[in-house]
């Protein structure tokens, strides 16, 4: 049975369809990474045991707006490799199979590739969820069986010295790339388990709101309690939160229509340790609305709400750009308008999004798109 990653951060669009890909190419052969910084010292490879490597290994010591390359090694000898979630143009996004330790090397036997098939390349949304200017959109992730050969990934164990600036997490190189152990229990769930939870939440919603139809939904842990909530926008424009056995109406009037496009639910992390739910919605002729929610004291509260009659978008993962029309005065003899951009970002001290300044859109602002 397949496993799939827990959704905790906004990923670059839906996944795609196309010709079958039967051999894993770039995903398992990871690119070379910078060497570990001074202050790390090697530990004899003979000390690496099977128990040492079980868990989730991430090729950065912390998780930002999304997961980077990660290995999830299970006690039962199965594994999942998940590629960097910001690599939004990649077709092959992971693989899974079995693993074992042999001569202090990690031997993986891929059995299923995770492939995005179909869809098309479009400009990135600007939300900071993609490292490239384009992203694959369109639609689905498929699991393709593969009969490729086993791969030998040399291991080397490292230990960080204690002290300011050093990660306290265990770190180990896998195929010459450093990976930090985020948890000694894999952070992935079995696909069946995740589907069962999602299905249970959606079933609870249908029972509580039988007259509503789901437009979009997102499964995510935004309140940071290590358990996913389900966020639902119904066709009526109402937004609901399903947490445990509770179905709660969160907001009414999320404006959208099929002509302008469906609303989007995204996870954003405007500063370390802060996770918000962003609701982006569209309505004709060219308006974009953005509502941001944050959990506090067990409640999901609205912390930001703007509309751009030209556009609203995310830049650099943290900055919101509101693009609006500034109408010229009648006294100027011109009833036209000029595009104006207003910038906002999260102030960790004030715990709110604050406005920076307003600029008439020019070439520099256009580069932010």
User: Cα-atom radius of gyration of the chain, to the nearest Å?
Assistant: 23
Residue-range definition of the domain harbouring residue 307? 191-366
Asked if 322 and 306 touch (Cβ cutoff 8 Å), the reply is yes
Are both 73 and 61 inside the same structural domain? yes
* Kind and range of the H or E run holding 280: strand 276-283
Are both 209 and 294 inside the same structural domain? yes
Question: Which residues, 6+ apart, have CB-to-CB distance to 142 below 8 Å?
Answer: 17, 114, 115, 116, 117
- Distance between CA atoms of residues 3 and 295, nearest Å: 28
**202 by DSSP, 3-state: which?**
helix
Question: Which residues, 6+ apart, have CB-to-CB distance to 205 below 8 Å?
Answer: 212, 214, 230, 232, 240, 242, 247
* pLDDT digits (tens), the chain, 369 positions: 444 333 333 333 333 333 333 333 333 333 333 334 433 444 455 578 888 899 889 988 887 767 889 999 998 899 999 998 888 888 888 999 999 998 889 999 999 999 888 878 888 765 556 777 888 777 578 888 999 999 999 998 666 543 344 457 888 899 999 999 888 877 765 454 555 566 788 888 999 999 998 888 888 888 888 888 899 988 888 899 998 779 999 988 776 655 556 788 888 888 888 889 998 887 766 788 899 999 988 888 999 999 888 888 887 667 898 888 888 766 656 667 888 888 999 998 898 999 976 554 444 445 544
Q: Report in angstroms the alpha-carbon separations of 256 from 215, 235, 288.
A: 10, 9, 9
Are both 25 and 134 inside the same structural domain? yes
How high is the pLDDT of residue 66? Answer: 74
How high is the pLDDT of residue 16? Answer: 32
How high is the pLDDT of residue 141? Answer: 81
Are both 251 and 355 inside the same structural domain? yes
How high is the pLDDT of residue 4? Answer: 38
Are both 180 and 303 inside the same structural domain? no
- Distance between CA atoms of residues 5 and 141, nearest Å: 12
Q: Distance from first CA to last CA of the chain, Å, rounded?
A: 41
How many residues belong to the chain? 369
The structural domain count of the chain equals 2
5-36 burial, b at 16+ Cβ within 10 Å, e below that, comes to bbbbbbbbbebbeeeebeebeebbebeeeeee
**148 by DSSP, 3-state: which?**
coil
- Distance between CA atoms of residues 177 and 33, nearest Å: 6
Of 120, 153, 187, the one marking the end of a domain is 187
Of 163, 187, 211, the one marking the end of a domain is 187
How high is the pLDDT of residue 258? Answer: 52
Asked if 209 and 82 touch (Cβ cutoff 8 Å), the reply is no
Of 129, 164, 187, the one marking the end of a domain is 187
Nearest Cα residue to 308 out of 296, 335, 328, 326: 326
Are both 171 and 86 inside the same structural domain? yes
Are both 35 and 106 inside the same structural domain? yes
How high is the pLDDT of residue 52? Answer: 86
- Strands 55-58, 239-243: parallel, antiparallel or unpaired by DSSP? unpaired
Are both 166 and 276 inside the same structural domain? no
Are both 293 and 145 inside the same structural domain? no
ω before 233 within 30° of 0 (cis)?
no
- Distance between CA atoms of residues 237 and 305, nearest Å: 16
194-230 burial, b at 16+ Cβ within 10 Å, e below that, comes to beebbeebbebbeeebeebeebbbbbbbbbeeeebbb
- Distance between CA atoms of residues 154 and 89, nearest Å: 28
0.75 exceeded by the pTM?
no
**133 by DSSP, 3-state: which?**
coil
- Distance between CA atoms of residues 24 and 149, nearest Å: 10
Q: Which class for 350: exposed (0-12), middle (13-18), buried (19 or more C-beta within 10 A)? A: exposed
- Distance between CA atoms of residues 286 and 308, nearest Å: 9
Are both 13 and 84 inside the same structural domain? yes
What's the token pair of residue 263? 């609303």
- Strands 78-82, 214-220: parallel, antiparallel or unpaired by DSSP? unpaired
Are both 254 and 242 inside the same structural domain? yes
Are both 124 and 255 inside the same structural domain? no
């Amino acid at each position: 049975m397949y496993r799939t990653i827990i959704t905790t951060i906004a990923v670059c669009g839906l996944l795609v369809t196309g010709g079958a890909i039967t051999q894993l190419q770039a995903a398992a052969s990871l690119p070379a990474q910078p060497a570990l910084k001074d202050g790390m010292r090697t530990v004899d490879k003979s000390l690496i045991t099977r128990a040492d490597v079980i868990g989730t290994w991430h090729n950065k010591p912390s998780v930002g707006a999304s997961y980077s390359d990660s290995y999830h090694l299970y006690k039962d000898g199965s594994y999942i490799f998940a590629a960097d979630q910001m690599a939004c143009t990649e077709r092959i996004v992971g693989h899974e199979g079995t693993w074992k330790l042999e001569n202090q090397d990690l031997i993986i036997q891929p059995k299923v590739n995770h492939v995005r098939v179909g869809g098309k390349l479009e400009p990135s949304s600007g939300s900071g969820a993609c490292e490239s200017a384009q992203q694959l959109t369109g639609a689905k992730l498929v699991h393709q069986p593969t009969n490729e050969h086993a791969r030998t990934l040399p291991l080397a164990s490292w230990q960080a010295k204690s002290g300011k600036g050093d990660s306290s997490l265990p770190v180990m190189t896998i195929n010459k790339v450093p990976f930090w152990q985020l948890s000694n229990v894999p952070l992935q769930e079995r696909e069946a388990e995740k589907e069962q939870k999602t299905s249970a939440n959606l079933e609870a919603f249908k029972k509580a709101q039988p007259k509503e139809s789901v437009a979009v939904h997102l499964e995510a842990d935004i309140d940071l309690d290590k358990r996913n909530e389900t966020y639902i926008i119904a066709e009526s424009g109402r937004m609901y939160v399903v947490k445990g056995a509770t179905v709660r109406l969160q907001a009414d009037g999320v404006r959208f229509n099929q002509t302008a496009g469906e609303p989007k639910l995204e996870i954003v992390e405007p500063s370390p340790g802060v996770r918000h739910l962003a609701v982006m919605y569209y309505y004709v002729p060219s308006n974009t609305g953005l509502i941001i929610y944050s959990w506090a004291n067990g409640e999901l509260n609205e912390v930001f709400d703007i509309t751009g009659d030209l556009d609203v978008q995310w830049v650099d993962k943290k900055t919101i750009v509101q693009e609006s029309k500034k109408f010229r005065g009648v006294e100027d003899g011109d009833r036209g308008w000029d595009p104006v951009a207003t910038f906002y970002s999260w102030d960790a001290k004030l715990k709110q999004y604050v406005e920076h300044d307003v600029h008439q859109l020019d070439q520099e602002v256009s580069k932010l798109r």
